[in-house]
Amino acid sequence: MEVTTCGSQAMVDLLIDLNFITLILQIVLIVVAAFVLVRLFRRLLKATEERTRIKKGILSNVQRFSQLVIYSIAIILILWMLNIDVTGLVASLGIGALIIGFALKDVIENWVSGLLIVLGKTYKIGDLISVGNLKGVVVDISLRTTKLKTYDRNEVVMPNSMLLKDKIINFTGGKQETVTSITFCIDYVFDVEKVKKVVENVLKNHHKVIVDQKKRREIKFIVRIKEWTIEVEPLFWINDPANEEFIKSEITELVRIEFQREGILPPIPGIIRKEFLGAKT
């Protein structure tokens, strides 16, 4: 009887040792898995930064948040395996996360929007974009905000969540080129072809205007005939989107000078038009 009892006790001790060793191995496995996941996620974020060519460190907040989540889950699993009641801890974490989530709702929403913008390559630094009634060049992108510089040199900081809720027009798409237009109003008595030729000559001789047939960078015209007015709108490419408004202003002034030299006038009252036509005859 004693031999049987000793053998059973030895078997129980062996099982306890095996269970203890298994428990230690499982805990070690969880710790190692947590470190591996954190390392993999860090490499993934680093590769994302390099591939999208965004500022170094812009995803650091996402990295820290992911580390916190992974390590928290690992600690809860270890405590559960040690037969420690984690129900209260999980409930506390859940309530705490809910409170923090409500408090930081806008921040988290901006982070997610920033990630979507960066990963989706919606726009990049240097692009000329339009959001609602605002138009400007992107000078900085962070996880929370995007900074635009308008043509009048004002810097506007916009939350990323607001950007994704509105319609975004990217005029450059990563290239330092954009298409623009100017509308010239002339009196209906003048020859439209002559007007187009004058405007085209000014555009072709301007150093900021791109004319390249191979790249399909052409000058095209839209003509609108109205009751006493003809609108001539040239569409053309420029190589400096950040200064679009200044370039258009300069071209407008050059065209005005050429119109004056050629005797081309804007819409004029009927009496003056009669005198003008009489002088031409």
Q: What is the separation of C-alpha 265 from the centre of its chain, rounded to a whole number of angstroms? A: 44
pTM of the model: 0.52
Q: On the CB side of 170, how many CA atoms lie within 13 Å of its CA?
A: 16
138 in Cβ contact with 125 (< 8 Å): yes
CATH of the domain at 99: 1.10.287
Q: Percentage of the chain with pLDDT > 70? A: 65
pLDDT in tens, 10-69: 555 555 566 667 777 777 888 888 888 888 877 777 776 666 555 555 566 666 667 777
The pLDDT score that the predictor gives to residue 102 is 47
pLDDT at 222 over 80: yes
Taking residues 228-237, report their average pLDDT. Answer: 90
d(CA 190, CA 196): 11
Q: Are residues 187 and 272 in the same domain?
A: yes
Q: Are residues 142 and 60 in the same domain?
A: no
Q: Percentage of the chain with pLDDT > 90? A: 18
Domain assignment present for 230? yes
Dump the DSSP string for 177-235: -EEEE--EEEETTS-HHHHHHHHHHHHHT-TTEE-BTTTTB--EEEEEE-SSEEEEEEE
Pairing of strands 229-238, 184-187: antiparallel
Nearest to 139 by CA among 158, 120, 163: 158
The pLDDT score that the predictor gives to residue 98 is 47
Range of the domain at 216: 178-280
> Is residue 183 very low, low, confident or very high in pLDDT (cuts 50, 70, 90)?
very high
The pLDDT score that the predictor gives to residue 278 is 60
d(CA 168, CA 189): 41
Per the structure, how many domains does the chain have?
A: 3
Q: Are residues 20 and 85 in the same domain?
A: yes
The pLDDT score that the predictor gives to residue 90 is 57
CATH of the domain at 264: 3.30.70.100
Taking residues 143-160, report their average pLDDT. Answer: 79
Domain assignment present for 111? no
Q: Are residues 192 and 268 in the same domain?
A: yes
CATH of the domain at 140: 2.30.30.60
Taking residues 238-246, report their average pLDDT. Answer: 85
Domain assignment present for 116? no
Q: Are residues 57 and 150 in the same domain?
A: no
> Is residue 1 very low, low, confident or very high in pLDDT (cuts 50, 70, 90)?
very low
The pLDDT score that the predictor gives to residue 51 is 61
Q: Are residues 99 and 8 in the same domain?
A: yes
> Is residue 149 very low, low, confident or very high in pLDDT (cuts 50, 70, 90)?
confident
